[in-house]
Amino acid sequence: MKKLKMAEQISLISRSTRLEYIGYEEKSKIIILNRCNKKRFSTRTFINRTLETTALASLLFTRFAGVGALACWGLEIIETNTNPNIIISSWHYQKNACLGGMLVSFSTFLGSSLLWASLSISRDNFHK
């Protein structure tokens, strides 16, 4: 009867606090070991998270660079209409820089998405 009560106590302890029952000592005391579960990142998880973050960051930068390019284009038109003697304004160069950044970040998005998709296809073994 005493052992049954001990077993019930052990099951309650192990369910509620993630402790594991090891055994009895010589004096019938319960030895309980605390389990430490360390989560380790696998390389696959790290690669997936890195590609996802890269894709999202490049999409955000593409949007911001696109808005900047539209703003520079509008200011270039306004400046050209107000002063017709200007051949090439400084807004033209800033617009080209924004468009170039947009192109680079969008190609980064496409590349990371393609790599992510190819890794997931090879992991799922669709070719078999």
How far is residue 119's CA from residue 42's CA, in Å, rounded to a whole number?
A: 15
- Asked if 63 and 89 sit in the same domain, the reply is yes
Q: Which residue has the higher pLDDT, 103 or 16?
A: 103
Residue type, 56: L
- Asked if 89 and 27 sit in the same domain, the reply is no
Rounded to the nearest 10 degrees, what angle do helices 43-82 and 90-124 cross at?
Answer: 160
- Asked if 54 and 12 sit in the same domain, the reply is no
- Asked if 86 and 110 sit in the same domain, the reply is yes
- Asked if 61 and 17 sit in the same domain, the reply is no
Residue 30 belongs to what domain range? 2-34
pTM: 0.57
Residue 78 pLDDT > 70, yes or no? yes
pLDDT band at residue 13, thresholds of 50, 70 and 90? low
- Asked if 25 and 65 sit in the same domain, the reply is no
Which helix (H) or strand (E) covers residue 19, if one does?
strand 19-24
- Asked if 61 and 103 sit in the same domain, the reply is yes
Residue 31 pLDDT > 60, yes or no? no
- Asked if 96 and 79 sit in the same domain, the reply is yes
How far is residue 65's CA from residue 85's CA, in Å, rounded to a whole number?
A: 29
pLDDT digits (tens, 9 = 90+) for 62-77: 999 999 999 999 988 8
Domain total in the chain: 2
- Asked if 57 and 110 sit in the same domain, the reply is yes
- Asked if 26 and 54 sit in the same domain, the reply is no
pLDDT at 21: 46
- Asked if 111 and 54 sit in the same domain, the reply is yes
